[in-house]
Amino acid sequence: MAVIGLDDTDSRREGMCTTYLATRLAERLEATAGSVKRLCLIRLNPAVEHKTRGNAALAVHTSVSAAEAFRLACDELESLAIETDAQTSPGLVVAPGDPDDVPEVVCEHSRRALRHKHRLSETLERIETAGYRHRGWAAEGCEITGRGRIGALAAVGAWAAFEDWTYERIAYRRFERCGTPRRVDLEAVFAAADSEYPTVWDTVDREAGSAVCVPNAPGPILYGIRGDDATAVEHVANEIAASDDTESVETQATFLTNQGTDSHLANGSIGSLRAAAGYRVDGVVSMPPETRAGGHVFYELTAPETGATVDCVAFEPTKRFRQHIRALRVGDRLTVCGEHTDGTIKLEKFAVRELNRTEQVTPECPDCGRRMKSAGRNQGYRCRDCDTAAPGKRERLVVRDLERGWYEVPPLARRHIAKPLVRGGFDAPVHPER
């Protein structure tokens, strides 16, 4: 047995994609040497900026020996992934044995890869200590050779490191069609998505009327169907492929993934948040939401115990999510989730724990009903016409457009790794977007 880890073979220019390489490699392993037990698609720290879009690494679990797996993987990588895009720095790591048996130091590398930025030098030490085969490549003009080994080692350790797994069924285009507009039957997409919802999620954004499963970026993926059950995602993918209005699918593959799991989030406290890491933090709204240039909505959250503050932002592409953010008031108690960078949390979801349902208003005169006037600093209020007085402002109930529980960005704005509310397991009522 062997575990093959691959990363950083994506290229914006050439439309290559690591999942496609893993699919090709799996087909070749099965055709020549043995069986493939599973394909894993691992989303790494979404905040690490130099990485290719999506920041994914792949693992292939196979019955083939490590030596033979390494030879075949090198061959596939060299035939498909080495090209001219100076951003790519592919890496390969092959571990002998069962994926459940990788050492703890490798599991820890996998877990940290979701919330930290590993260095290549320390990664190579771990690979050497574990005795794994590895190789790195560099496109012409790329300064670092085989940086992809950071993600590749994370993919090797992922099976033992993580507990929550979801599925993605990926349908690939015929390679010569890559770069041309995708032809996918949207009616079939919406019908198939409805037939398996909520086991299959984030296929479409019903409110926006868009097919989230069809990527915009160039590359060989025609669509990817995500969910909690392998049979259900395959059913939806087949329904779409069966339509005459969908272009012909070259091949399909099912991946186990950490997508939709929130495994990039850790509990944190305002005032001690690291940069480029995902968090779940509690706080009280201390500055009201404000829509700024570009349509991004900001507010300030404070930890009442320490007085430390952090800005929270719902970016314009999160669309209707911003309505919930604009409905927040100073005094609302929340839990917010998202990536923290430069003193700002980019919101992915939040929970309303307690709403501030009152406001202080100037009292009205009990005789004439008109609003009283201030009687001077700390003198209360009075009505000059009726000679009535009140000691101070009075409290009034405010109607709120929010309820207790979790709110999230819509499917079209979801990060790969963020957990949709419809998957369940949250600590309060949920208000899922679909």
* Angle subtended by helix axes 18-32 and 66-80, to nearest 10: 130
**One character per residue 247-266, x = contact with Zn ion (rule: CB under 5 A):** --------------------
Which span (110-118, 119-127, 264-272, 378-386) binds Zn ion, by CB under 5 A?
A: 378-386
Q: 258 is written with which tokens?
A: 């950490």
CB 338 within 8 A of CB 278: yes
With a CB cutoff of 8 Å and minimum separation 6, the contacts of 64 are 1, 2, 29, 33, 34, 72
Kindly state the smallest distance separating residue 359's Cβ from Zn ion, in Å: 22
Q: Which is nearer to Zn ion, 13 or 384 (CB)?
A: 384
Would you give the end-to-end CA distance of the chain in angstroms? 41
Q: Which is nearer to Zn ion, 287 or 386 (CB)?
A: 386
Does residue number 403 form part of the binding site for Zn ion (CB under 5 A)? no
Cα within 13 Å of Cα(20), Cβ side: 25
Does residue number 395 form part of the binding site for Zn ion (CB under 5 A)? no
Kindly state the smallest distance separating residue 376's Cβ from Zn ion, in Å: 18
The residue within the footprint of Zn ion, chosen from 16, 383, 417, 421 (CB under 5 A), is: 383
CB 252 within 8 A of CB 153: no
Does residue number 367 form part of the binding site for Zn ion (CB under 5 A)? yes
Sole residue written with tokens 């911003």: 322
CB 8 within 8 A of CB 148: yes
Does residue number 242 form part of the binding site for Zn ion (CB under 5 A)? no
**One character per residue 7-46, x = contact with Zn ion (rule: CB under 5 A):** ----------------------------------------
Kindly state the smallest distance separating residue 391's Cβ from Zn ion, in Å: 16
Q: Which is nearer to Zn ion, 176 or 387 (CB)?
A: 387
Kindly state the smallest distance separating residue 377's Cβ from Zn ion, in Å: 22
Q: Which is nearer to Zn ion, 179 or 366 (CB)?
A: 366
Q: Which is nearer to Zn ion, 27 or 364 (CB)?
A: 364
Which span (103-111, 130-138, 301-309, 365-373) binds Zn ion, by CB under 5 A?
A: 365-373
Q: Which is nearer to Zn ion, 342 or 387 (CB)?
A: 387
Kindly state the smallest distance separating residue 382's Cβ from Zn ion, in Å: 9
Q: 337 is written with which tokens?
A: 């989730």
Does residue number 82 form part of the binding site for Zn ion (CB under 5 A)? no
Q: Which is nearer to Zn ion, 229 or 385 (CB)?
A: 385
Task: Give the Cα separation of 242 and 249 in Å (integer).
Answer: 9
Q: 229 is written with which tokens?
A: 């059950």
Which span (137-145, 339-347, 359-367, 422-430) binds Zn ion, by CB under 5 A?
A: 359-367
Q: Which is nearer to Zn ion, 334 or 365 (CB)?
A: 365
CB 172 within 8 A of CB 250: yes
The residue within the footprint of Zn ion, chosen from 217, 242, 368, 398 (CB under 5 A), is: 368
Q: What is the contact surface with Zn ion in residues (CB under 5 A)?
A: 365, 367-368, 383, 385-386
